[in-house]
């Protein structure tokens, strides 16, 4: 069940995800603290104080994607959008929603309205889940910024209320995550239409979209459960199946419309 200020993430680490499901306890809230060093910058991205050349390229890429996302959503929401900030970290980070380790994966905190990304997650996305490519990485950022859009539009608060009324079922959580996938697709539609990110630093071709679809499929709840336990329990889903994530991401890509992303009214199967 969604709680006030609870982090909203693109996917959880398998052990913590399944442990939370089996015990009924939010194990992420029990994680210990660890030092992380970040510095403020005038851009939309907070980066670790010291990074390698490879990480610097990734930081620049995330910054370019974030800039384009914010520009796109400012246009789409026509004055209703206020910028978020992306915090990049290693190992652990303290957010407005509490301390989280890299094991929790990328997440958005509604309380401080920031996106948190561990730099190692993109390696895991490529090497462990078989979803490489620039647009796969861009999809991750776009999904989390999609949660920021939900917060600005009041959807996140309504989802919390829905989850409470439903007595702890996961339907509200799944609907929220699938809508963030659809919102990521809305941005992708705008990026494809323009032919490139508005910063001009990253090219986006139509073939790159398959990377995003592959990433959405790679982190579906059914695939993650099957990898860890060999079985799938749909009632425990928090983010949606691979097919659902791909379907809603594609819907946003094809329509480019926010009103096409009403996962709460749709029959989720």
Of 83 and 195, more confident: 83
Q: Residue 109's pLDDT is what?
A: 95
120: its two tokens: 């190692």
Residue 86: its H or E element: strand 85-89
Residue pLDDT, tens place only, 115-134: 999 888 888 888 887 877 88
| Cα–Cα distance, 260 to 96 (Å, whole number) | 31
| Cα–Cα distance, 83 to 73 (Å, whole number) | 9
Please tell me whether the overall predicted TM-score, pTM, comes out greater than 0.85 for this model.
no
197: its two tokens: 């990110």
Residues 6+ apart with CB under 8 A from 207: none
- Continuous H helices in 205-241: 209-218, 221-229
Q: Quick check: helix, strand or coil at residue 65? A: helix
Residue 209, Cβ density class (10 Å: 0-12 exposed, 13-18 middle, ≥19 buried) = buried
Q: Residue 204: is its pLDDT beyond 70?
A: no
Of 38 and 89, more confident: 89
Of 200 and 117, more confident: 117
| Cα–Cα distance, 42 to 206 (Å, whole number) | 32
Average pLDDT (74-92) is 92
Q: Residue 26: is its pLDDT beyond 80?
A: no
For 111, list phi and psi in degrees, rounded to 5. Answer: -70, -45
228: its two tokens: 């860890």
Q: Residue 144's pLDDT is what?
A: 95
Residue pLDDT, tens place only, 42-66: 356 776 655 678 788 888 889 989 9
Question: pLDDT class for 147, splitting at 50, 70, 90?
Answer: very high
Q: Residues of the chain with pLDDT > 70: what percent?
A: 71
87: its two tokens: 């915090």
Q: Residue 176's pLDDT is what?
A: 93
Question: pLDDT class for 100, splitting at 50, 70, 90?
Answer: confident
Q: Quick check: helix, strand or coil at residue 124? A: helix
| Cα–Cα distance, 58 to 52 (Å, whole number) | 10
Q: What is the largest CA-CA distance in the chain?
A: 49
Question: pLDDT class for 222, splitting at 50, 70, 90?
Answer: low
| Cα–Cα distance, 149 to 222 (Å, whole number) | 26
């Amino acid at each position: 069940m969604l709680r006030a200020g609870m982090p909203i993430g693109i996917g959880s680490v398998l052990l913590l995800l399944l442990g939370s499901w089996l015990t009924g306890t939010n194990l992420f809230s029990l994680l210990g603290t660890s030092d992380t060093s970040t510095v403020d910058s005038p851009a939309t991205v907070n980066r670790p104080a010291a990074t390698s050349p490879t990480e610097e390229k990734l930081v620049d890429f995330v910054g370019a994607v974030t800039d384009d996302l914010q520009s796109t959503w400012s246009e789409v929401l026509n004055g209703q959008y206020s910028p978020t900030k992306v915090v990049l970290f290693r190992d652990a980070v303290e957010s407005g929603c509490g301390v989280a380790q890299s094991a929790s994966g990328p997440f958005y905190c509604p309380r401080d309205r920031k996106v948190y990304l561990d730099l190692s997650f993109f390696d895991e996305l490529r090497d462990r889940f078989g979803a490489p490519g620039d647009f796969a990485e861009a999809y991750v950022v776009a999904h989390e910024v999609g949660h920021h859009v939900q917060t600005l539009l009041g959807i996140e608060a309504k989802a919390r209320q829905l989850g409470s009324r439903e007595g702890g079922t996961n339907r509200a959580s799944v609907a929220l995550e699938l809508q963030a996938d659809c919102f990521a697709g809305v941005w992708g539609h705008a990026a494809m239409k323009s032919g490139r990110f508005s910063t001009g630093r990253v090219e986006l071709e139509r073939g790159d979209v398959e990377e995003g679809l592959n990433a959405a499929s790679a982190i579906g709840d059914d695939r993650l459960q099957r990898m860890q336990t060999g079985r799938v329990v749909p009632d425990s889903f928090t983010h949606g199946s691979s097919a659902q994530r791909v379907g809603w991401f594609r819907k946003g890509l094809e329509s480019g419309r926010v009103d096409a992303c009403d996962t709460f009214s749709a029959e989720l199967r």
